[in-house]
Amino acid sequence: MEASERQKGKIILPKFQKLESNFQLSGDDEILKHLKIEDAFDKNRADFSGISMDNNLHISKLIHRAVVKTFQLEEAPPPAKEMIYVRIVQQPITFTFIADHSFLYFIVDKARNVHFIGTYYD
């Protein structure tokens, strides 16, 4: 897959204050097997000798919580629903995207590493 080209655009999102997600993983979860870290959850195979003298140390469960908060950058005439406006890079606007439906979003850093993937349902 080729890297996408940066373009300046106007993105209009539904106005929301906070999106939150929680999930829990345990030692028999397929995700942990795929990441090859299931040993850390097994009492007999866990090896945390580099950080603790306790030989019985293991992870019983992993709880993940993610929170995305938004805020309004600029005031604009509200469309049919209350929406927030997000600015993108300093180039001429080449597109407008109005998220007036469910959408998938990514939070990435400047090097384009994905740190969070989420979905918004209206």
| Cβ proximity of 74 and 12 under 8 Å | no
pLDDT at 1: 39
pLDDT at 68: 80
Q: Which residues contact 104 (CB under 8 A, 6 or more apart)?
A: 117, 118, 119
pLDDT at 120: 81
- Count other C-beta atoms under 10 Å from residue 41's C-beta: 19
For the ranges 19-28, 32-41, 49-58, 75-84, the lowest mean pLDDT is seen at 75-84
Between 6 and 112, whose confidence is greater?
Answer: 112
| 71-80, long-range: CB < 8 A, 24+ apart | 72/15, 79/12
34 φ/ψ angles, rounded to the nearest 5 degrees: -65, -40
pTM for this predicted structure: 0.48
Residue 54 has pLDDT above 80, yes or no: yes
59-94: per-residue pLDDT in tens? 888 888 888 877 666 554 455 455 555 555 556 778
Q: What is the largest CA-CA distance in the chain?
A: 62
Domain extents for the chain? Answer: 1-17+70-122, 23-63
Task: Give the count of alpha carbons within 13 A of 7, CB side only.
Answer: 11
Distance between CA atoms of residues 52 and 54, nearest Å: 5
